[in-house]
């Protein structure tokens, strides 16, 4: 277990983040009659190299929060600071250089890879787009990345449909890492995978964190998975964070009823996974 | 879409393999190629066999068939029938009407015009439709609303009536819209009318597909990596529309050809003395009881071309997207609107 | 054929520009009532299109005139006879032909007594000025014929009557018309339906859907524009008008039902199968030869018209400002080819006046000779050879245009062919602002059998107008202008006819046109009808009163 | 739902307005024609042209002319030039014939389209399927202006099986009404038969692969019952949608060429006549009438869809 009390300026600081979706009614002219409070005043921080787990049932606003942090959707209010800089509400162009620093891994490995593009393009496009590499240098870097995430460099020319779910998620990881970000937001990266594959991916993420000094905002509905990888955990329910604390603290001694419910729902692990989980926690 | 050559198992090569397995489709592709070769050979036939151009008139001339002199057009205005090689290839299919032009030569040159119009109009309509659909489906909101209403309007316009009016407007003074200058007799007139009026038929279904695609996570992924709207539309979404576009494009060629025939029939298409299969049917229908072949031959050519393109389009659809139910519906809906529209639907198409 | 409706359209040829159709029919000058058939029956007939108007003041097409000839009788009318005999103007509602006095400026007529309209209203002398005023107020296309009546021009602007040039006495029935100048064609013009008297309570609006009562042997009982109309006998013909006008036929059939069938192929089928008894328009070109061969003499008759088909050349601009170029074109145009293009429905001529028109005498200045044409072209060596060639969409006129286009190409011109919707064609080529009016196709059907009706509107310098121009060649020759003007003021006689003949030749030497033929129309009836008795008048076409069942 | 319908109707009015403006521009502004010159006839004097211009208002500015024309459209005073008669009357008179043609053709194309589609779906891949597919595509590929005269020539003239068409009102003689309409019905229906059979076939094949159909089979329902009760019924929804759009289009003007060739004096026939004469008022009348039907049936289909599929309602645009 890593020491979670790392001093210094927070890498990501989210304060009072709110995202409301309006419900409009009106025969001809829309009036806002109500709103869905998807994210309703959420605050958390992620330190350099740290993993913050964000748990909650589906519909609790986790994914919306992630997207609001990355400015993929516009937050209704609140502040998002990256390395001390306010990014909430800034323009697309100003946001662009910051995109290098913060990347995302998506939940659905099938939908998140463009089926009409080759792996080399998928992983290499960000590099090319940001002007980091091109030509044979690009190819070399991409192939290196592929190998690093556990794929073969020969996969460079293949299409996504030729890969299994776990392999695809590795591609997604390679894509996220290609720009060498400081923060990676993982939106339920393993929930769509078989249980056996889940562990491999989680371990890979863990290894990469060490290697690249990454910070993760790790979102999942399964508190068991989150507990394994996170330094700290925040529990979200109905758009609000109901409990936040170190991983052990939240899991061993939950304060909120909702957290307790989540913990109770964790399936009884099979022996192998429990072993892995155990060995993981010893690392 | 590939930038790399080695693509043995890419979706395109898979599709090609699936397509080649459909023997009927391959046969009809062959037929289409033959038709293209047929019209391309027009100058060869005109110069070396028929010894006449497509617009040369032989009203009062006589030809020698098996040593016998025959009128090309009788004093009662009856054109000569097919001579096959009886007159050394002259009037192989007879004369085209009372002006005594060589039907075979006109059929070949007319086919060029028809195919040229079909392909160009289909290309323009498809490009316009895809751009509009991308804009509407990606930006949504008022952009979508505006585009949708514009398409609705085009859809509701009486195409043939308008084509006709444009024909008159162009003949009298020509038309200048910005840098675009049109004059009567230009084949750009039917091309323009056809492409504008067929845009809705393609844009509607593609817009739906763009809507669905832009919800996909890979689009978010691209945005997360700093891709702007243009890049997302053209580099992420567009490649996924490729199979639909190809299918539509083949079907649109067929449709445009029928549409052109309809416009020409109404006098708003290809202008005499030039011929297209549509104008030839028009002339032929009038002489149906004298020389039925004059209407039936160009009709048959259109039918075969359209048939070939439809079957090839169908097979492409199956090959490119074997499980793509949504796309299939879209393509079918397109045909419901566009397919019937061509040459047949008056007010709407 | 490039028309909506298409197969349809060969038809209307005549319809479109034709006015008055000539006869001079096949030597067999059967006059009215020649047959020996049954009286009664209802004629079931078809027209290819509904007349422009079913209102005598407005109609200016062959269909309209044919449809209404036995319904609305003017003060004067044309003899119910074929051919040249039918060109004779005879008294209609008037007792006699007009007395012309005051140097050709005053026309005096007297209404026959005892006449009644089909609704029973007595006919009054003042109905005539009413009809003239109504026609002018409706802005009828026929009004220009009558603007030489004193005060008519002013009336057409102000629409405030009465027109001082017409005096009518209801008691005596006397009608006196004063013209501003002598007008040799006015007698002919009084015989047109535009000025057929109408009851004075007739609304001043287009009555096509509800035609007003008339004085002829038949009345229109039902009119459905676009679809058809029906006739019945005028009950007051037997009671009154027939007795007052014994020289006009009473008609054989009891009535008629007209159906508009736009597809002339169907019309021919229907006649052959006996579904209908008569079609007003000729069979389409593609059926013409077949019908002629099968039915000529039994159910079919060719009817010559007083018309000229021609190609015009703009004499005021290069390259056609050079007479040699125009003559070259005349040599190059082969009337034989055009006969074939019209499937035998024109007879080749090379002059302005057609056969059947007083003053016609055949000559042939430019026998087809391509060598001569090329020679003349070489001599003229025109510098500007980029030209636009115009024609309309009606088959075979469009093909004639294509032919002309090809001929000009052979002569070395760079041509562009423009084919305009038939109903707009004259407006387009008659508008000076239309660019590229170099050469093109046109035709002219007489309004009435008087040679002035050709020269004045088509070739007089004064007829060159910025819009609605009829002088497409923009031919403006002061000697010719003077002769047209002088002859136009005189009543037609042998001297005048000879002068018109010379004028014809004089103009053709200048070659503003390349005329190629005169159109023939036809009578085509089912085998139930007695072909012999059917009359085709050069001005009004087929008279309904002449049809009888065998 | 109300909101959706109201918005759709407002959009409809917008579309009709746009159609009217475009028709006006295309027929009045672009051709640079002065109808007065055409109306004045071949013997016209400048004075006559001027009088006619004043009478009809052709000397007004174009926006004024447009406004006048639209006012006449709403008050029902729109008048054709030649003859000068109300446009409304002709359109209303034409509707029975056009409806007879459209309804009859629709019945035929639905009946045969569905029958053939059903047959080829249950025999998918077999020779019958292939033949039917070929025939239906061929049907789509024949231009109607070739088919109609050929049918008329051979069946009516040569073989005298059918009368020369022309419309006989149903009220006059129902038997003759039908006899005269058979050829035009089939001409108009032929393309749609092919098309509908293809749509139905592909929908049925999709539905056959759905779970509930397999379940139905597993329950031991007879093949025929499975096909008719489950597969056919569920495959018909998109067909009905298409039918709504096509039927609107047919009434609106599909029939122009068919009506003209078969001399059926419906609205399409009137449109053909108006175009031939190049008269704006009837063209405007017919265009608005046609656009109204197209837009109305489009809207109805959309509303029906929205009713069946609430997701559409939530969408930003009402066009799908």
Predicted confidence at residue D26, as pLDDT, reads 83
C-alpha radius of gyration, chain B, whole number: 23
D226 domain-assigned: yes
Contacts of residue D67, defined as CB under 8 A and 6 or more positions apart, other chains included, come to none
Q: Which of C336, C343, C393 sits opposite B98 (nearest CB)?
A: C343
Whether residue A250 is found in the same domain as residue A144: no
DSSP H helix total and E strand total for chain D? 15, 0
Kindly state whether residues D276 and D135 are assigned to the same domain.
yes
Residue C6 to residue B265, Cβ atoms within 8 A? yes
For residues D20 and D107, state if they share a domain. no
CB contact B183 to D (< 8 Å): no
pLDDT score for B245:
87
Measure the CA–CA gap between C504 and B34, rounded to whole angstroms: 58
Contact in structure between B343 and B266 (CB atoms under 8 Å) = no
Say which residue, B37 or D301, is predicted with more confidence. B37
Look-up of token digits 């779970």: D211
D165 pLDDT above the threshold of 80: no
- Going along C407-491, which residue ranges are E strands? 414-420, 439-445
Where among A137, A158, A180 does a domain terminate? Answer: A180
* CA-based end-to-end distance of chain B: 34
* A72 part of a folded domain: yes
Nearest Cα of chain B lies from the Cα of D121 at a distance, in angstroms, of 16
Q: Give chain A's domain count.
A: 2
Of A125, A156, A180, the one marking the end of a domain is: A180
Q: CB neighbours (10 Å) of residue B19?
A: 17
User: Do the domain assignments include residue A166?
Assistant: yes
pLDDT, tens digit, 9 for 90 and up, residues C483-532: 999 999 999 999 999 999 999 999 999 999 999 999 999 999 999 999 99
Of D215, D240, D239, nearest in space to D226 by CA:
D215
- Just give the CATH number of B111-275+309-348: 1.10.3720.10
Same domain, A123 and A84: no
A28 in contact with D, Cβ within 8 Å: yes
Residues A94 and A189 in one domain: yes
pLDDT, one tens digit per residue, over D93-144 is 888 999 899 999 999 999 999 998 888 888 877 788 878 877 777 777 788 8
Cβ of B240 within 8 Å of Cβ of A114? The answer is: yes
HSE-CB for C213 with a 13 A CA cutoff: 19
Q: List, for chain C, all residue ranges whose pLDDT scores fall below the cut of 50.
A: 1-35
Chains contacting chain D through 3 or more C-beta pairs under 8 A: A, B, C
Whether C445 and C307 have beta carbons less than 8 Å apart is answered as yes
- Look at residue C143 in the predicted model and tell me its pLDDT: 93
Query: Which domain covers residue D68, as residue numbers?
Result: 16-75
Q: Cβ neighbours of residue B187 under 8 Å, at least 6 residues apart?
A: B113, B116, B117, B270, B274
Helical axes D127-141 vs B293-320, angle rounded to 10°: 120
Q: Are B25 and B64 in contact (CB under 8 A)?
A: no
**One domain, residues D70 and D99:** no
Cβ proximity of D158 and D74 under 8 Å: no
Whether D11 maps to a domain, the answer reads: no
Residue D55 covered by a domain: yes
Q: Are the C-beta atoms of residues B270 and B113 closer than 8 Å to each other? A: yes
Over residues A229-257, mean pLDDT: 89
For A180, the closest chain B residue by CA position comes to: B225
Chain D interface mutation, best of A24, A27, A36, highest count of D Cβ atoms under 10 Å: A27
Selection from A186-195, B108-117, D52-61 with the highest mean pLDDT? B108-117
Q: How far is C244 from chain B (nearest CA, A)?
A: 48
Residue D192 inside a domain? The answer is: yes
Domain that holds residue A131: 112-180
Specify whether D53 is located in the same domain as D99.
no
Beta bridge partners of C43: C256
CB D318 within 8 A of CB D300: no
Whether residues D44 and D174 fall in one domain: no
Contacts of B99 in chain C (CB under 8 A): 341, 399, 402-403, 406
Which segments of chain B does DSSP mark as H helices, in order?
Answer: 11-21, 23-40, 42-45, 103-139, 141-156, 159-173, 188-214, 217-224, 229-231, 238-265, 277-286, 293-320, 325-334, 340-341
Helix or strand (DSSP H, E) at A172: helix A165-177
Which among C147, C143, C135 is positioned nearest to C180, based on CA atoms? Answer: C147
* Tokens, residue D176: 């003759």
- Residues of A whose CB is below 8 A from B216: 111-112
| pLDDT, tens only, B213-264 | 888 889 988 888 888 889 899 989 998 888 788 878 887 888 888 888 888 8
Fold that domain C307-521 belongs to in CATH:
Dipeptide-binding Protein; domain 3 (3.10.105)
Contact between A159 and B9 using a beta-carbon 8 Å cutoff: yes
- CB contact under 8 Å between C289 and B98, yes or no, is no
Q: What is the pLDDT of residue D222?
A: 81
Number of domains in chain D: 2
pLDDT of residue C37: 58
B8 in contact with A, Cβ within 8 Å: no
Any chains having at least 3 CB pairs less than 8 A from chain C are: B, D
Q: Considering only CA atoms, give the Rg of chain A.
A: 19
Together in a domain, A187 and A273: yes
One domain, residues D103 and D49: no
Residue A2 within any structural domain of the chain: no
Name subunits touching A (3+ CB pairs < 8 A): B, D
Q: Residues of B145-156 as b/e, b for ≥16 C-beta within 10 angstroms?
A: bebbbbbbbbbb
**Do D291 and B156 count as a contact with CB atoms less than 8 A apart?**
yes
Same domain, D110 and D168: yes
Domain ranges, ordered by start, for chain B? 111-275+309-348
**What is the per-residue pLDDT for C102?**
93
User: Cβ distance A41 to A64 under 8 Å?
Assistant: no
Best probe of the A interface among B6, B215, B226, B234, by most A CBs < 10 A, is: B226
Q: What does the pLDDT read at residue B73?
A: 92
Distance from C-alpha of B251 to C-alpha of C382, rounded to nearest angstrom: 50
Quote the DSSP letter at residue A181. Answer: -
What mean pLDDT comes out for the span A236-261?
89
d(CA C444, CA D258): 33
- To the nearest whole Å, the CA of C90 is away from the closest chain D CA by 24
- Has residue A3 got a pLDDT over 70? no
Q: What secondary structure does DSSP assign to B99-132, as a single string?
A: T--BHHHHHHHHHHHHHHHHHHHHHHHHHHHHHH
Of the candidates C47, C69, C55, the one whose C-alpha atom is nearest the C-alpha of residue C209 is C55
Spell out the CATH class of C20-74+215-300+523-546: alpha beta
Averaged pLDDT of chain D? 82
Same domain as A118, residue A23:
no
Structurally, at CATH architecture level, domain C76-195 sits in: Alpha-Beta Complex (3.90)
Alpha-carbon distances of B52 from B48, B308, D187, rounded to whole Å: 9, 30, 38
Mark whether D193 and D57 lie in a shared domain.
Answer: no
Residue ranges of A 134-163 with Cβ closer than 8 A to chain D: none
Name the residue in chain D with its Cα closest to that of A25.
D3
- Torsion angle of alpha carbons A185, A187, A188, A189, nearest 10°? -60
Strand partners, A55: A220, A235
Task: Kindly list the domain boundaries of chain C, sorted by start residue.
Answer: 20-74+215-300+523-546, 76-195, 307-521
The reply to whether A135 and A264 lie within a common domain is no
In the three-class reduction of DSSP (H, G, I as helix; E, B as strand; rest coil), residue A190 is classed as coil
Which of A180, A204, A233 delimits the end of a domain? A180
pLDDT at A234: 93
DSSP bridge pairs for C312: C440, C513
Binary contact (D30, B337; C-beta < 8 A):
no
| A 184-243 → D contacts, CB under 8 A | none
- Residue from the list D145, D261, D265 with its beta carbon closest to the beta carbon of C226: D265
pLDDT value of residue B149: 85
Give the C-alpha separation, D263 to D258, whole Å. 8
Beta strand pairing status for C278-279 and C513-525?
A: antiparallel
Kindly state the DSSP code that residue C512 receives in the 8-state scheme: S
Specify if A244 maps to a domain.
yes
* pLDDT beneath 50, residues of chain B: 1-8, 324-349
What is the average per-residue pLDDT within A201-207?
Answer: 91
More confident residue, D24 or B165: D24
Does A80 lie in the same domain as A18? yes
User: Angle D77-D79-D84 (CA atoms, 0-180°, nearest 5)?
Assistant: 135
Pick from D28, D32, D44, D272 the residue to mutate for testing the C interface (most C CBs within 10 Å). Answer: D44
Q: What is the pLDDT of residue B9?
A: 60
Chain C contacts to B (CB-CB under 8 A): 1-4, 6-7, 10, 265, 284-290, 292, 334, 336-337, 339-344, 393, 395-396, 398-399, 402-403, 405-406, 416-421, 424, 428, 434-435
CATH of the domain at D240: 1.10.3720.10
Q: Is the domain of A44 the same as that of A31?
A: yes
Structure tokens at A50: 């740290």
* Chain B residue nearest residue C264, CA to CA: B286
- Do D68 and D130 lie in a common domain? no
Contact between D10 and A28 using a beta-carbon 8 Å cutoff: yes
Select the residue of B160, B267, B273 nearest C2 (Cβ to Cβ): B267
Residues D117 and D257 occupy one common structural domain: yes
Residue A1 domain-assigned (yes or no): no
Sign of the torsion angle spanned by Cα atoms A94, A98, A99, A103: negative
Q: List pLDDT tens digits, range A6-65.
A: 445 689 999 999 988 887 766 666 677 778 888 888 999 999 889 999 998 888 888 899
Record: contact D191-B296, CB cut-off 8 A: no
Model pLDDT for residues D211-259, shown as the tens digit of each residue: 777 777 777 778 788 887 778 877 777 777 778 777 877 776 667 778 8
Burial D2-32 (b: 16+ CB within 10 A, else e): eebbebbeebbeebbebbbebbbebbbebbe
State whether D61 and D102 are in the same domain. Answer: no
Chains A and C lie in contact, requiring 3 or more CB pairs less than 8 Å apart: no
Domain assignment present for A3: no
């Amino acid at each position: 277990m890593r020491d979670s009390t790392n001093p210094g300026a927070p890498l990501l600081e989210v304060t009072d983040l709110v995202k409301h979706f309006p419900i409009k009614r009106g025969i001809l002219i829309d009036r806002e009659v109500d709103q869905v409070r998807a994210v309703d005043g959420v605050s958390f921080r992620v330190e350099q190299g740290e993993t913050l787990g964000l748990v909650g049932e589906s519909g609790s606003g986790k994914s919306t929060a992630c997207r609001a942090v990355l400015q993929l959707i516009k937050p209704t209010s609140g502040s998002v600071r990256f390395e001390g800089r306010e990014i909430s509400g800034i323009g697309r162009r100003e946001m662009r250089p910051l995109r290098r620093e913060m990347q995302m891994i998506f939940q659905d490995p099938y939908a998140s890879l463009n089926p009409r593009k080759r792996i080399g393009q998928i992983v290499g496009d960000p590099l090319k787009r940001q002007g980091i590499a091109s030509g044979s240098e690009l190819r070399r870097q991409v192939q290196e990345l592929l190998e690093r995430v556990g794929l073969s460099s020969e996969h460079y020319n293949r299409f996504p449909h030729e890969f299994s779910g776990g392999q695809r998620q590795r591609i997604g990881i390679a894509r996220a890492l290609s720009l060498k970000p400081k923060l990676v937001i993982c939106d339920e990266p393993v929930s769509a995978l078989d249980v056996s594959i889940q562990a491999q991916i989680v371990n890979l993420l863990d290894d990469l964190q060490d290697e690249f000094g990454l910070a993760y905002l790790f979102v999942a509905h399964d508190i068991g998975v989150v507990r394994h990888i996170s330094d700290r955990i925040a529990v979200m329910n109905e758009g609000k964070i109901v409990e936040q604390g170190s991983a052990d603290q939240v899991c061993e001694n939950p304060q909120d009823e909702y957290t307790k419910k989540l913990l109770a729902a964790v399936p009884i692990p099979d022996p192998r996974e429990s072993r892995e989980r155990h060995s993981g926690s010893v690392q | 879409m590939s930038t790399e050559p080695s693509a043995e198992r890419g979706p395109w090569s898979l599709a090609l393999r699936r397509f080649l397995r459909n023997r009927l489709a391959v046969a009809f592709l062959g037929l289409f190629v033959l038709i293209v070769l047929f019209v391309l050979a027009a100058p060869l036939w005109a110069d070396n066999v028929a010894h006449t151009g497509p617009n040369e008139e032989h009203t009062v001339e006589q030809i020698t068939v098996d040593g016998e002199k025959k009128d090309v057009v009788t004093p009662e205005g009856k054109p000569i029938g097919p001579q096959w090689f009886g007159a050394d290839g002259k009037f192989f299919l007879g004369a085209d009407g009372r002006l005594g032009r060589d039907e075979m030569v006109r059929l070949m040159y007319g086919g060029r015009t028809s195919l040229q119009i079909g392909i160009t109009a289909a290309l323009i309509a498809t490009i316009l439709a895809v751009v509009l659909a991308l804009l509407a489906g990606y930006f949504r909101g008022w952009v979508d609303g505006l585009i949708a209403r514009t398409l609705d309007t085009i859809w509701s316009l009486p195409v043939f009536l308008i084509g006709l009016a444009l024909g008159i407007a162009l003949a009298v003074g020509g038309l200048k819209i910005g840098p675009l200058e049109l004059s009567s007799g230009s084949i750009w007139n039917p091309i323009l009318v056809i492409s504008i009026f067929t845009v809705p038929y393609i844009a509607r279904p593609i817009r739906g597909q763009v809507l669905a695609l832009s919800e996909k996570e890979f689009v978010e992924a691209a945005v997360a990596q700093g891709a702007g709207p243009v890049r997302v539309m053209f580099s992420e979404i567009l490649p996924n529309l490729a199979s639909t576009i190809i299918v539509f494009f083949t079907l649109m060629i067929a449709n445009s050809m029928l549409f052109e025939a309809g416009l020409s029939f109404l006098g708003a298409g290809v202008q005499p003395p030039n011929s297209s299969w549509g104008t030839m049917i028009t002339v032929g229908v009038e002489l149906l009881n004298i020389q039925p072949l004059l209407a039936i031959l160009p009709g048959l050519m259109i039918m075969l071309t359209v048939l070939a393109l439809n079957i090839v389009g169908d097979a492409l659809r199956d090959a490119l997207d074997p499980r793509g139910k949504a796309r299939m519906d879209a393509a079918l809906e397109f045909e419901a609107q566009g397919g019937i529209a061509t040459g047949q639907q008056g007010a709407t198409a | 054929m490039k028309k909506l409706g298409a197969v349809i359209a060969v038809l209307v040829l005549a319809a479109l520009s034709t006015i008055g159709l000539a006869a001079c029919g096949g030597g067999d000058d059967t006059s009215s009532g020649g047959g020996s058939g049954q009286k009664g029956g209802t004629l079931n007939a078809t027209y290819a299109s509904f007349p422009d108007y079913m209102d005598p003041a407005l109609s200016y097409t062959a269909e309209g005139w044919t449809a209404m000839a036995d319904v609305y009788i003017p003060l004067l009318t044309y003899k119910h006879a074929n051919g040249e005999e039918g060109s004779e103007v005879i008294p209609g509602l008037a007792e006699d032909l007009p007395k012309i006095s005051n140097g050709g400026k005053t026309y005096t007529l007297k209404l026959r007594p005892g006449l009644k309209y089909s609704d029973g209203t007595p006919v009054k002398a003042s109905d005539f000025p009413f009809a003239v005023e109504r026609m002018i107020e409706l802005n009828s296309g026929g009004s220009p014929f009558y603007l030489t009546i004193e005060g008519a021009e002013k009336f057409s602007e102000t629409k405030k009557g009465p027109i001082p040039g017409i005096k009518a006495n209801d008691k005596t029935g006397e009608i006196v018309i004063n013209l501003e100048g002598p007008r040799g064609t006015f007698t002919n013009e009084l015989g047109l339906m535009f000025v057929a008297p109408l009851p004075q309570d007739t609304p001043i609006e287009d009555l096509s859907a509800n035609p007003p009562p008339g004085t002829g042997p038949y009345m229109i009982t039902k009119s459905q524009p676009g679809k058809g109309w029906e006739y019945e006998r005028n009950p007051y013909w037997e009671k009154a008008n027939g007795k007052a006008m014994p020289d006009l036929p009473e008609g054989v059939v009891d009535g008629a039902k007209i159906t508009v069938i736009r597809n002339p192929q169907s019309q021919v089928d229907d006649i052959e199968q006996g579904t209908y008894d008569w079609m007003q328009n000729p069979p389409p070109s593609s059926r013409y030869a077949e019908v002629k061969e099968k039915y000529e003499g039994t159910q079919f008759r060719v009817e010559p018209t007083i018309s000229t088909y021609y190609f015009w050349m703009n004499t005021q601009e290069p390259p056609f400002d050079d007479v040699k170029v125009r003559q070259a074109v005349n040599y190059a145009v082969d009337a034989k080819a055009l006969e074939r293009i019209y499937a035998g429905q024109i007879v080749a001529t090379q002059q302005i006046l057609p056969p059947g028109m007083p003053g016609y005498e055949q000559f042939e200045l430019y026998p087809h000779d391509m060598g001569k044409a090329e020679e003349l072209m070489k001599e003229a060596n025109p510098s500007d050879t980029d030209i636009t060639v115009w024609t309309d969409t009606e088959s075979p006129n469009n093909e004639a245009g294509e032919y002309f286009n090809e001929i000009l190409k052979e002569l070395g011109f760079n041509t562009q062919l423009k084919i305009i919707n038939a109903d707009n064609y004259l407006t387009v080529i008659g508008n000076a602002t239309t660019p590229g009016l170099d050469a093109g196709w046109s035709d002219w059907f007489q309004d009435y059998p008087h040679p002035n009706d050709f020269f004045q509107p088509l070739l007089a310098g004064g007829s060159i107008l910025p819009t609605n121009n009829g002088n497409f060649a923009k031919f403006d020759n002061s000697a010719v202008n003077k002769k047209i003007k002088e002859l136009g003021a005189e009543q037609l006689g042998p001297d005048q006819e000879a002068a018109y003949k010379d004028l014809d030749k004089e103009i053709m030497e200048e070659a503003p046109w390349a005329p190629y033929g005169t159109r023939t129309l036809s009578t085509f009836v089912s085998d139930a009808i007695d072909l012999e008795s059917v009359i085709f008048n050069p001005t009004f076409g087929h008279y309904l009163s002449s049809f009888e069942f065998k | 739902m109300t909101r959706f319908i109201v918005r759709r109707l407002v959009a409809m009015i917008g579309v009709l307005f746009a159609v009217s403006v475009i028709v006006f521009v295309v027929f009045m502004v672009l051709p640079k024609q002065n109808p007065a010159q055409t109306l004045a006839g071949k013997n016209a004097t400048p004075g006559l042209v001027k009088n006619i211009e004043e009478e009809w208002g052709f000397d007004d500015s174009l926006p004024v002319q447009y406004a006048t024309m639209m006012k006449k459209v709403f008050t029902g005073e729109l008048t054709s030039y030649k003859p000068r008669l109300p446009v409304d009357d002709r359109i209303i008179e034409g509707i029975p014939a056009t409806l007879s043609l459209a309804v009859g053709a629709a019945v035929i194309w639905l009946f045969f389209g569905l029958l053939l589609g059903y047959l080829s779906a249950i025999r998918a891949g077999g020779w019958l399927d292939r033949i039917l597919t070929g025939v239906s595509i061929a049907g789509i590929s024949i231009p109607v202006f070739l088919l109609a005269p050929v049918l008329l020539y051979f069946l009516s003239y040569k073989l005298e099986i059918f009368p020369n068409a022309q419309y006989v009102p149903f009220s006059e003689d129902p038997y003759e009404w039908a006899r005269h309409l058979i050829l035009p019905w089939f001409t108009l229906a032929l393309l749609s038969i092919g098309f509908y059979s293809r749509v139905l076939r592909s929908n049925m094949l999709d539905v056959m692969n759905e779970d509930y159909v397999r379940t139905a089979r597993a329950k031991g329902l007879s093949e025929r019952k499975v096909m008719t009760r489950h597969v056919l019924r569920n495959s018909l929804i998109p067909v009905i949608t298409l039918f709504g759009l096509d039927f609107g289009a047919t009434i609106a003007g599909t029939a122009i060429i068919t009506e003209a060739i078969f001399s059926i004096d419906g609205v399409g026939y009137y449109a053909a006549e108006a175009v031939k004469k190049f008269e704006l008022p009837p063209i405007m009348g017919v265009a608005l009438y046609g656009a109204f039907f197209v837009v109305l049936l489009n809207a109805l289909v959309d509303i029906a869809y929205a009713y069946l599929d609430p997701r559409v309602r939530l969408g930003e645009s009402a066009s799908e």
